[in-house]
Chains A and B, each alone.
Chain A
Amino acid sequence: MRYPGCFWWIVVAAVSFAFRAPLIAAENPPPLGPWFHTVEADSEAVWSSDIALTDSRLRYQHSKDALTWDAAFSYASFDIDYRPFALFDFLGFPEHLHEDRFSGQANLRYEMVDRITLLGNAGVYDGYPDYRRVWIANRFRQKYANPNFQRIPGYADPNPKGWNVGTGARWEYLPLKGFAELRLGYAFDQTAPGYEDSFDAMGNYLLLRGRERLDTKTLSFSSENVLTSRLRALNEFTVTKTTSRELRYSYQGSLNVAIGPWWVLRGYGGISVEEPQFDAYFFGTTVEYEALRGLFIGVTGRYYKDTGEIENSLLTSSAAPALESWELGLGARYVWRRSSVKVYLSSFRTNYDPIRIGSAEFTYLYRDRKWGLAQIAYSLQF
């Protein structure tokens, strides 16, 4: 059977219209709010062949009149198949490590006068901040508190924890189009310190303990602008000062582009610089398409490169060598009335430069790895 030339046009157009019609109707969606409460749960997992990490959060937000506040509780887990580098670590042994971190965070926003909002935040955590610290702390534990030998005087079991506070203001200097934000922050961290073998003036062995308590002060300024009806930009500058370190300067620029009614491109790029020798840069983009009403599908690509962490040790150092990393992921989000759900899956690599001789005992920590990343989030407004 032969169809007229435009038959397939009709089919394509009809299918397209069937999908698009609800979107057209969504231009003026019926009022569903206002909602005063938001409950959000999200969870992330990252894994490689020998490391598995999770980070989950439950958050509640309340918004009414000029006041918005939220509180969140988070749980993170670290599971590592620890493996010593036998060439430099004769007494180390393989073992499975499991650590937890519990944390809480609260934020406050109060519009004190028209277009000026006060900001405040506070948080606390108990546990290791990241998987590398778990690995490094276990290396020192095996070396100085090895169960098969006498404990070395000067070694103390780590108890990492910390807290932070911050305040700031947000000024809407152009109604709905221009926002400037200034923030001040302070964080206290009790870290799991590093150790170094040394000798005192008499030539006796001495175990040197690294700095355990760190103070971090931050000053950040950001500007958010609606440049055109299709462009929204965010520029963020941050200066950070941590105990015994030089100032770190960071910049990140982000640009969101509405390519069309159903297409959004989100791009970002930034740098971090810290004397004497740490430089990092990164960029990435996400392209998102609203395939059906409320259903968004996105593709993400990211790239990161740095020159390696700064060493200031005498002999051994746990500093990471130069790193190059890239990521490719797929995501989907579905919004239905008061509920939203998001799923994101990606694969990324961390490729380090050859390890320096002073960091050789951390060879397996800084080996190249291929990681999987999964995110899931759910939000409900009422």
Chain B
Amino acid sequence: MVVERLLIFCIATVLLSGCASNRVPESWLAGKPNMQFSQSAIYSYTSKMMPQFQPGLAGSGGAQPSTCTACR
């Protein structure tokens, strides 16, 4: 009897915790802040200094990579 109660408690607890994800509406997921393409430094996942090192990065086109003057 005690074992059965413990088993029920286990299952109930696991359902309340590990399966909690099922309660989250899926439409909410794509709208999460870390799913956005944000310019904010908080939600930026790149370094603004990296074009100094990697001149072919897509965002670094233009005059900045023309750091060499005897070259193009």
Contact = CB atoms under 8 A, between A and B. Distances in A.
Interface in B7-64: 7, 9-10, 13-14, 16-18, 20-21, 23-30, 32-37, 40-42, 44-45, 47-49, 51-59, 61-64
Contacts of B42: 40, 42, 333, 340-342, 377-379
B58 A236 contact: yes
Interface in A1-30: 4, 6-7, 9-10, 13-14, 16-17, 20-21, 23-24, 27
B57 A304 contact: yes
Contact of A230 (B18, B29, B54, B63): B29
Contacts, number: 242
Nearest to A311: B71
A9 B10 contact: yes
B58 A238 contact: yes
Interface string A286-301: 1010000000101010
B47 A44 contact: yes
Contacts of A348: 53
B38 to A, nearest CB: 11
A126 interface: no
Given A129-B64, A320-B55, A286 B45 contact: yes
B30 A136 contact: no
Contacts of A296: 34
Contact of B10 (A6, A189, A229, A251): A6
B66 A40 contact: no
Interface residues of A, number: 113
Nearest to B62: A216
Given A9-B10, A304-B57, A42 B32 contact: no
Given A13-B18, A133-B67, A245 B29 contact: no
A348 to B, nearest CB: 8
A311 B41 contact: no
B1 interface: no
Contacts of B36: 232, 256
A300 B54 CA distance: 17
Given A9-B10, A10-B10, A278 B56 contact: yes
28 contacts: A13-B17, A13-B18, A20-B17, A27-B25, A42-B41, A55-B49, A57-B41, A129-B67, A187-B63, A188-B63, A218-B62, A242-B62, A244-B72, A261-B29, A264-B35, A274-B72, A278-B56, A304-B54, A306-B55, A306-B56, A310-B71, A310-B72, A317-B70, A319-B70, A333-B42, A342-B41, A375-B41, A379-B41
Interface of B: 2-3, 6-7, 9-10, 13-14, 16-18, 20-21, 23-30, 32-37, 40-42, 44-45, 47-49, 51-59, 61-72
